[in-house]
Structure 1
Amino acid sequence: MMHKKLALLGAGLVGCSVAFAQQAAPPEDTSHTWVMTTPLTQIVVNAPRIEKEIMHVDLKMTPVNTAQDLLRKVPGLFIAQHAGGGKAEQIFLRGFDCDHGTDINVSADGIPVNIVSHAHGQGYADLHFLIPETIEGIDFGKGAYYADKGDLNTAGYVNFSTYNHISNNMVKLEGGAFNTMRAVGMFNLLGNEDAGKRNAYIATEYNYTNGPFDVRQNFNRVNVLAKYNQWLNEKDYIGIQFSTFTSGWNASGQIPERAVKDGIISRWGSIDPTEGGNTSRSNVALTYKRLINETEDWQSFFYYSRYKFNLYSDFTFFLHDPVYGDEIQQKDDRSIYGFDHTYTKRFNLPHSNITWQSGAGIRLDDIHNLELNHVYQRDSLLNREAYGTAMETNLQAYTGIEWRKGKWMINPAVRIDHFIFNYHDKLQSIPAGQDQEGTRVSPKLNFVYTASAVAQWYLKTGMGFHSNDVRVVMQQQGKDILPYSVGGDLGVILKPAKNLIIQPALWYLYLQQEFVYVGDEAVVEPSGKTKRMGADLSIRYQPLSWLYVDADINYAHGRFVDEPKATAYIPLAPVLTSTGGIAVKLPIGFSANLRYRYMKERPAIEDNSVTAKGYFVNDLALAYTQKRWEFTVQAQNLFNVNWNEAQFETTTRLRNEQAPVSELCFTPGMPFYLKAGVAVKF
């Protein structure tokens, strides 16, 4: 009876969270053997969430090896690291330079990752508290068509799910170039006798590297994840999880092209060797689920996060202060409280069926400290540029139905978000207790038509939004609090052969206001309205059970709406990107994955007079797996190409220069890098 009820949990709104079904599903083995659990031949085009099924195959054939790989698994998503490995990655998706998360909603096991009104950037999404070996699935969606996804869901969303159960204990040791060391441990605390009813495990990770830079990164990170879940009876389920991480690092920063060209520093050098920082985050979450009957269920989810961030950066060197330099310190110290409640009801009608899902919740950011300081070599405070405390509250609710009749599925939904902002500026005369409020209503309407077993058409439409920084909201007295987006996707999922899936799509997105707060300078920079349109193409091909080929090609054309044509380019917006590779998994236990990623050059400034350079980089991962042992070798940047990872058009002045210079500043991408590891399961 219990298994019958669990099967009912697979139903849900298209694009809505299926966390209930994921949590209740039978546990998976993390043994990483060569056998595939879901080959392409088993995927049908009318699956409720075919993207999740395809991602499941991707993860089995091309597993995640690093924390950076987690985001790269999303088709069309690119990242750039430019602060020593400890800072959140810069994210690019669908013609957006999302900065560190401004226009992409990121979560992990339902816990929001994005930090709103962050000291460094709006929606800052640091995923480094995740341990790659614990990732069971990656759920994603492009566009703002998903009723259960709210703030920052304009370009899309990503949710990472960790295992609820592991069958084996595992210890892994890795080492490589640049004095790189990594250790991972995963331990099943209750054994397998009650697996499915009661599970508990703990996972730990330690990372260290000096990196390829002249200034040693001295990068340290420690991660811990603990999970416990239990079916109390046939109707009630409870899950508890805890995670914590802390890291510290030195960074070589973004360097001007002329400094390398003139021989002032090497490609791996730095102008200010004191850049870097430290950060930490601890999360606690509680999930309670109730199967009311065979057609109804509800879930309550509570979470708490404690977050600290301290970053030292120098982008302009001696532009503003020719004596002490322009180094800045950004600090963030906060507690995050949240609650989400979801109710699902299924109606079985004579010739159709309806799934109704509604949710409501609250998120409260109690920001104890937000700082932007002008400092000298980290230790000396020269001036406070911004200093305050804040409280930001997001009340949200949504409802929608999924109506299935014959070959059609229609999914109307609506979401409402209400924000309350309060900021106490300790440097200005803005008193504590003054609030600004804003409300955003976001309707969604999606259609799916399954023409045959070979083709499924879809049309997704909807509105989304990204909230603005609390400091902007207070300064502008409520203007542009919640800039909205409007977009649509028209696509088709084709399966012309049992081992081939092709997914082309056309899309459009209008955004009322690009992000307007510059956290590095504590200034407001309105950027205006933008529109983007583009095309995506995904291909998955498995000609043999042990051979897997994938490719994603993404094109985006984006412009400012109200600017003259010559100056309407969106800085750093990706134009043409592609990722893919070939994976081999042989029955003898040997596997090989050759991956590529390509980004075409793109505008670095509004008039396109300066362009960020494109790149084509290849990585190779080899593994030999037996029942208890696994040996791995990874080669990043296999052909050792010189490529620029992060790039910005910046006005800088070096010491003793008479005048400032505006040019491209960059962080060099990783050179050829070899890492080997061994893992044992017991």
Structure 2
Amino acid sequence: MLRTIVTAGGVLATACCAAAEPGMAFVPVVEVVGQRIGGIDTASAGSVGAAEIAARPLLRTGELLEFVPGLAVTQHSGDGKANQYFLRGFNLDHGTDFATFVDGMPVNMRSHAHGQGYSDLNFVIPELVRRIDYRKGPYAAADGDFASAGSARIGLADTVPDAATVTVGRHGYRRVLLAGTIRESNTGRLLYGLDVQRKDGPWNVPEDVRRLSGVLRWSDGGGDDGWHVTAMAYRNRWQATDQIPLRAVAQVGRFGSLDASDGGRASRYSLSAGRYGPWGGGRVELNAYVVRSALDLYSNFTYALDRPEEGDQFRQSERRTTVGLDAAWSWRGTLAGLDLANRAGVQVRGDRLSPVGLYTTVARRTTATVREDRVRETSAGVFAETSAHWTPWLRTVAGLRGEAFRFSVTGRREEATIVTPKLSIVAGPWQGTELFFNAGHGFHSNDARGVVDGVTPLVRTRGVEAGVRSELAWGLETSLTAWRLASGSELVYVGDAGTTEPSRASRRHGIEWNVHYAKGPWRADMDVAASRARYTQPAEEGDRVPGALARMAALDVSYVPAGGGWSGGVNLRHLGPRALVEDGSVHSRASTLAGARVGYRFGGGAQLTLDVFNLFDRRASDIEYYYASRLPEEARAGSEAQDDVHFHPVEPRTVRLTLAYAF
């Protein structure tokens, strides 16, 4: 079946050819993203450039995704673990249903030891990011697995100024960054980056984060014709303070731990290469990659529920190799007098896990194997889409994607295919205003270990969206979007438990309002989103989707002049309450956090920046769950498990001071 999909891609591209016509803390490299009117297919899509990224302080690397309007990033464990993501009524857990790519490499991990679609961005050096292109909804033919709620493509820079950065902060935070570019006129340019971080955090058990990230990127050309080869390396180890129940606060405090040996080790090494340029009367894009990653994650969420004598700690472990190849061809043509812009492509990916396992542990010492598997998961997808200009003010984008999967788990095999159509209609612009209508199907794959046990391999989603985007004045843009997304029976493998559990079909709908302003040294973004998530199949326990975020709002304002002198900014983020159980009887508490930045650029290339996170020192939670657990003293007393809210607090007011020197 995989061979059939790839062959079909070649036939599809050949058929379409008939219509073709011949023919940093330091100052970042500023790429002009340009006005957003007239170059997108949905009201909710957009791009963020390096200047915008550099102007906003990040508490964690994963907060790069908060540049996607309406997306919130939190954490429920140590800083070496992937973040929690919320978007469009989804508690995306660690990444399921939102596809993320870095330099063309997929970040979401299939059949991951901790959870399907696990998306860990800790290996990224934010100062080396050139731009972020984001889309919401399943409307782009180039997006496949995990892209139901949307996708983000993080592109790396080819050049950055030579600079050294040192950051120190509260709770033992230390960071050193060296980055720059070596230019050779005949052989291209070599970008380098080395990021070393240490952190203890506010926790009673010091987090002792020891993180090292490195990048080497060799590239040449630019614009419409060029190539790049990128090597990335990342290692991290940490102690984790996982979520605790409310009833334990009196015993261990808000920042306490019930298992001091929780934590983990992670590593990621990758080599990728890309080539883009003119070919066959159009433009070709090629990207190949190989990624080697490893994770050992020690967690204890129920304390002494299942194993009262030794505790409930477990280890989730995997050793993974991912290889892939993407090829796409874009060209223009005419058909029956219509101007067409066409794009077709093939995407192949293979994951090999040797092994992936779940083990019971005591103080990180393995005591038993719950299950251990060797997994091979391969997919091949083809896509094609055509943009037709029917009139000067009306265009459509029709797309089709086909994907085939092969799952192999310790000798047991399954195969599955899916076809997802897409359609976008764009009207305008009229006086800087465009109208959008989008409809399409998407999907996410399920864990291979569940698939070979009879779980649905590929879960289909159906989305529809209508929106308007307007340029009210030079530099001021606004968009308003209403959307709806339905998901089929989401039978998934639950990494925390090592078992497969079914869930019901669901439906979400909502509205988003975004305002963007950029003029001179001033930038401002305001995002407001509201959504409603419900199960569509009746059940006695209720129809609420636990963890679904019903409302959020964010505001970010920055002032960064082109020359030297003072700069600064403020940001605000509000997350509304979330139902924690299906009947809606228990909710999380809303949170509102603020941050601020002030900086001064001296002559001679030096810059000093002060960042403050959780400016007003609010006592809030990054995440809350509701489930049954048993504390060690409760187990010793013979008590039964208790249902309780389990939470992970936000970090208290945190101050970081950065000195950067460009040389």
Fold similarity call, TM over 0.5: yes
In 2, the alpha carbon distance for the partners of 1:553 and 1:208 equals: 35
After TM superposition, give the deviation of residue 320 of structure 1 in Å. Answer: 0.6
Q: Which residue of 2 aligns with 1:15?
A: none
1:210 and 2:200 matched: yes
1:655 and 2:597 matched: no
Q: Which residue of 2 aligns with 1:488?
A: 464
Match of residue 435, structure 2, among 440, 449, 457: 457
Q: Which residue of 2 aligns with 1:24?
A: none
In 1, the alpha carbon distance for the partners of 2:624 and 2:73 equals: 12
Q: Which residue of 2 aligns with 1:159?
A: 153
1:398 and 2:383 matched: yes
Contact 1:599 1:616 in 2 (8 A): yes
1:62 and 2:56 matched: yes
Q: Which residue of 2 aligns with 1:443?
A: 421
Equivalence map 1:353-502=2 (5 Å): 353-379=339-365, 381-404=366-389, 405-424=391-410, 432=411, 434-476=412-454, 479-502=455-478
Query: Which one-letter code corresponds to 1:448 in the other structure?
Result: V
Equivalence map 1:106-121=2 (5 Å): 106-121=100-115
Match of residue 243, structure 1, among 232, 240, 245: 232
Q: Which consecutive unaligned segments of at least 5 residues does structure 1 have? A: 1-28, 425-431
Q: Which residue of 2 aligns with 1:20?
A: none
Change (3 A) 1:347 1:679: same
Q: Which residue of 2 aligns with 1:270?
A: 257
Q: Which residue of 2 aligns with 1:139?
A: 133
Q: Which residue of 2 aligns with 1:18?
A: none
Aligned partner of residue 332 in structure 2, secondary structure: strand
Aligned partner of residue 183 in structure 2, secondary structure: coil
Query: Which one-letter code corresponds to 1:603 in the other structure?
Result: A
Query: Which one-letter code corresponds to 1:374 in the other structure?
Result: T
Aligned partner of residue 634 in structure 1, secondary structure: strand
Change (3 A) 1:662 1:136: same
Contact 2:292 2:321 in 1 (8 A): yes
Q: What do the CA deviations read for 1:385-414 (whole angstroms, capped 9, x no partner)?
A: 111111000111101111124111210010
After TM superposition, give the deviation of residue 588 of structure 1 in Å. Answer: 4.5
Contact 1:45 1:453 in 2 (8 A): no
Contact 1:235 1:292 in 2 (8 A): no
Change (3 A) 1:559 1:351: same
Q: Aligned residue pairs: how many?
A: 631
In 2, the alpha carbon distance for the partners of 1:150 and 1:378 equals: 37
Aligned partner of residue 70 in structure 1, secondary structure: helix
After TM superposition, give the deviation of residue 498 of structure 1 in Å. Answer: 2.1
Change (3 A) 1:251 1:204: same
Match of residue 179, structure 1, among 172, 180, 205: 172
Query: Which one-letter code corresponds to 1:393 in the other structure?
Result: T
Contact 1:367 1:391 in 2 (8 A): yes
Aligned partner of residue 115 in structure 1, secondary structure: coil
Q: Which residue of 2 aligns with 1:671?
A: 652
Contact 2:30 2:50 in 1 (8 A): no
Query: Which one-letter code corresponds to 1:250 in the other structure?
Result: Q
Contact 1:610 1:663 in 2 (8 A): no
Contact 1:512 1:529 in 2 (8 A): yes
Contact 1:649 1:664 in 2 (8 A): yes
What TM-score comes out, normalization by structure 2 length?
0.91
After TM superposition, give the deviation of residue 81 of structure 1 in Å. Answer: 1.1
Contact 2:30 2:49 in 1 (8 A): no
Match of residue 621, structure 1, among 597, 605, 612: 597
Contact 1:65 1:132 in 2 (8 A): no
Change (3 A) 1:493 1:61: farther
After TM superposition, give the deviation of residue 31 of structure 1 in Å. Answer: 5.4
Change (3 A) 1:30 1:275: closer
Root mean square deviation of aligned Cα = 2.2
1:541 and 2:517 matched: yes
Q: Which consecutive unaligned segments of at least 5 residues does structure 2 have? A: 1-23
Aligned partner of residue 407 in structure 2, secondary structure: strand
Query: 4+ residue runs of structure 1 moved beyond 6 angstroms?
Result: none
In 1, the alpha carbon distance for the partners of 2:69 and 2:262 equals: 32
In 1, the alpha carbon distance for the partners of 2:49 and 2:507 equals: 29
After TM superposition, give the deviation of residue 249 of structure 1 in Å. Answer: 0.2
After TM superposition, give the deviation of residue 268 of structure 1 in Å. Answer: 0.8
Contact 2:49 2:130 in 1 (8 A): no
Query: Which one-letter code corresponds to 1:638 in the other structure?
Result: L
After TM superposition, give the deviation of residue 354 of structure 1 in Å. Answer: 1.2
Aligned partner of residue 357 in structure 2, secondary structure: strand
After TM superposition, give the deviation of residue 566 of structure 1 in Å. Answer: 6.8
Match of residue 344, structure 1, among 303, 320, 330: 330
Deviates more, 1:520-529 or 1:208-217: 520-529
In 2, the alpha carbon distance for the partners of 1:439 and 1:662 equals: 41
Match of residue 562, structure 1, among 503, 513, 537: 537
Change (3 A) 1:219 1:64: closer
Contact 2:57 2:597 in 1 (8 A): no
Q: Which residue of 2 aligns with 1:642?
A: 619
After TM superposition, give the deviation of residue 545 of structure 1 in Å. Answer: 2.7
In 1, the alpha carbon distance for the partners of 2:308 and 2:224 equals: 68
Q: What do the CA deviations read for 1:654-678 (whole angstroms, capped 9, x no partner)?
A: 1131111111101111100001011
Match of residue 90, structure 1, among 84, 91, 96: 84
After TM superposition, give the deviation of residue 582 of structure 1 in Å. Answer: 1.8
Contact 1:46 1:453 in 2 (8 A): no
Change (3 A) 1:577 1:565: farther
In 2, the alpha carbon distance for the partners of 1:158 and 1:44 equals: 16
Query: Which one-letter code corresponds to 1:218 in the other structure?
Result: D
In 1, the alpha carbon distance for the partners of 2:262 and 2:528 equals: 36
Change (3 A) 1:350 1:475: closer
Query: Which one-letter code corresponds to 1:140 in the other structure?
Result: Y
Query: Which one-letter code corresponds to 1:599 in the other structure?
Result: L
After TM superposition, give the deviation of residue 297 of structure 1 in Å. Answer: 2.0
Change (3 A) 1:297 1:68: closer
Deviates more, 1:573-582 or 1:400-409: 400-409
Contact 2:112 2:318 in 1 (8 A): yes
Aligned partner of residue 75 in structure 1, secondary structure: coil
In 1, the alpha carbon distance for the partners of 2:491 and 2:51 equals: 36
What TM-score comes out, normalization by structure 1 length?
0.89
Deviates more, 1:340-349 or 1:251-260: 340-349
Aligned partner of residue 124 in structure 1, secondary structure: coil
Q: Which residue of 1 aligns with 2:7?
A: none
